């Protein structure tokens, strides 16, 4: 049996899609798992913690999203159960669209023109070429690399930072502590696409913001826990950073009284940069289950010690 445990997601299209793609498996939706020992696979998004231990026949769990921090924080998933993270073309397309859109928004000075419109001010502002703007990616994984390549293709100067050394054509690849500082110091727009791990939580605090260029912009599409909120607000308030686009937050939904909502230099979206769509995700996960049942092993299994 395949159990869908998807908090905040309308289950109908998922159930219909998986019933079509995996007719040999019974598909059930939490909180109606049927006999617990019959659950062989589970698809998880914001699942209530502490429940998976009762599924004694569990063979593998699949993440509904690319980030697995919330799944890893659930102590009821036995250490021998593989956790498969989502690498999906629909998710990648969504992230590329979002990041390219926000980078172009800043690059083409749309915030300045919006302010001028409010003053009925008709003037042309100086416009740098993309090659004279550096976009720096913290995280050069599946999503960071796809976004970096899209922007390099538009002619931007692109750099990226990862845990291990990398080589990507047309992108300056940095790693380690010196690489982190170098990337922050040379980027006009910094895009965070790191997972939330013991090593990355709080990585974007006062020290990191101080290393960014005067007037830099910051886009966080990774995880809210990367950022020390008060330090980001302080960097914006003192004019060191010129803007922030935030899609992910320490606590989601973002509290109604959080300063991010109303800060004039902050754009907020409700964790929608990339989104899981039945059309592509059902195919991706069904192929993985079918391959596993045929003895081919599972791709993209999370390294629990590394945290992503
Ligand atoms: P990947 O696992 O493919 O890539 C993660 C990247 O982060 C890798 O380049 C990795 O380095 C780097 N990294 C991890 N830890 C460190 C560290 N300590 N120091 C330096 N670099 C580090 O993940 P994805 O690209 O698929 O996704 C990234 C994150 O984006 C997800 O974990 C999730 O949090 C977020 N996300 C947000 C969404 C949204 O809608 N806002 C949607 C989807 C994902 P290395 O290459 O060396 O391993
Ligand atoms: C995520 C996702 O991991 O939406 O945030 O896929």
Exposed, middle or buried by CB within 10 Å (0-12, 13-18, 19+), for 99?
Answer: buried
Task: Report the nearest-CA residue for atom 2 of ligand 2.
Answer: 65
| Distance from C-alpha of 206 to C-alpha of 231, rounded to nearest angstrom | 5
pTM equals 0.97
Select from 63, 89, 139 the residue to mutate for testing ligand 1; criterion: most ligand atoms less than 8 Å from CB: 139
- pLDDT value of residue 172: 98
Distance from C-alpha of 70 to C-alpha of 47, rounded to nearest angstrom: 8
Tell me if 163 CB under 6 Å of ligand 1. Answer: yes
Residue in 66, 99, 197, 276 to alter for ligand 2 test, most ligand atoms within 8 A of Cβ: 66
Q: Is the CB of 67 under 6 A from ligand 2?
A: yes
Which residues have a catalytic role annotated?
223, 271
Evaluate whether 240 touches 210 at the Cβ level (below 8 Å): yes
Evaluate whether 56 touches 37 at the Cβ level (below 8 Å).
yes
**Mean per-residue pLDDT over the chain, rounded:** 98
N-terminal to C-terminal alpha carbon distance within the chain: 26
Give yes or no for residue 200 CB within 6 A of ligand 1: yes
Average pLDDT score over residue span 226-232? 98
Cα dist from 117 to 5, 82, 124, 264, 285, whole Å: 47, 54, 12, 16, 47
41 with 170: CB under 8 angstroms? no
Measured N-to-C along each axis, helices 278-293 and 12-21 cross at an angle, to the nearest 10 degrees, of: 40
Q: Once rounded to an integer, what is the mean pLDDT over residues 251-255?
A: 98
The confidence score (pLDDT) of residue 251 equals 98
The arithmetic mean of pLDDT across residues 257-263, rounded, is: 98
Domains assigned to the chain: 2-88+276-293 (3.40.50.720), 90-268 (3.40.50.720)
Contact 133/107 with Cβ under 8 angstroms?
yes
Contact between residue 130 and residue 154 where contact means Cβ atoms under 8 Å apart: yes
Give the pLDDT confidence of 39-73 residue by residue, as tens digits: 999 999 999 999 999 999 999 999 999 999 999 99
Is-contact 194 306, C-beta < 8 A? no
**For the residues 188-214, what does the mean pLDDT come to?**
98
Reference 259, options 246, 275, 242; nearest CA is 246
Degrees (nearest 5) of the Cα angle 82, 86, 91?
A: 175
**95-121 pLDDT, tens digit each:** 999 999 999 999 999 999 999 999 999
Mean pLDDT for the stretch of residues 233-248: 98
pLDDT at 238: 98
Q: Which atom of ligand 1 is found nearest the CA of 144?
A: 25
Question: How many of the other CB atoms lie within 10 Å of CB of 91?
Answer: 24
191 is written with which tokens? 């895009």
Distance from residue 22's CA to the centre of ligand 2 (Å): 24
| 130 CA → ligand 1 middle, Å | 25
């Amino acid at each position: 049996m395949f159990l869908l445990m998807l908090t905040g997601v309308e289950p109908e299209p998922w159930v219909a899609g998986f019933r079509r793609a995996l007719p040999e498996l019974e598909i059930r939706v939490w909180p109606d798992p049927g006999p617990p020992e019959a659950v062989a696979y589970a698809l998880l998004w914001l699942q209530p913690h502490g429940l998976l231990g009762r599924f004694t026949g569990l063979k593998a769990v699949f993440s509904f999203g690319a980030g697995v921090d919330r799944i890893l924080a659930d102590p009821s998933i036995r250490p021998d159960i593989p956790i498969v993270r989502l690498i999906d073309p629909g998710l990648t397309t969504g992230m590329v669209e979002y990041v390219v859109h926000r980078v172009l928004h800043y690059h083409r000075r749309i915030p300045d023109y919006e302010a001028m419109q409010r003053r009925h001010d008709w003037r042309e502002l100086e416009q740098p070429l993309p090659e004279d703007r550096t976009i720096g990616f913290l995280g050069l994984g599946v999503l960071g690399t796809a976004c970096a390549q899209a922007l390099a293709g538009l002619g931007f100067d692109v750099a990226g930072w990862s845990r291990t050394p990398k080589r990507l054509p047309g992108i300056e690849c940095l790693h380690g502590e010196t690489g982190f500082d170098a990337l922050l110091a040379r980027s006009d727009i910094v895009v965070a696409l790191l997972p939330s791990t013991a090593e990355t939580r709080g990585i974007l605090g006062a020290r990191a913001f101080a290393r960014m260029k005067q007037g830099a912009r910051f886009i966080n599409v990774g995880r809210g826990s990367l950022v020390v909120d008060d330090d980001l607000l302080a960097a914006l308030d003192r004019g060191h950073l010129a803007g922030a686009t935030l899609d992910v937050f320490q606590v989601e939904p973002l509290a109604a009284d959080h300063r991010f909502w109303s800060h004039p230099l902050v754009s907020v979206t409700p964790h929608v940069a990339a989104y899981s769509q039945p059309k592509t995700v059902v195919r991706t996960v069904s192929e993985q289950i079918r391959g596993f049942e045929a003895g081919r092993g599972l791709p993209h299994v999370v390294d629990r010690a590394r945290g992503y």
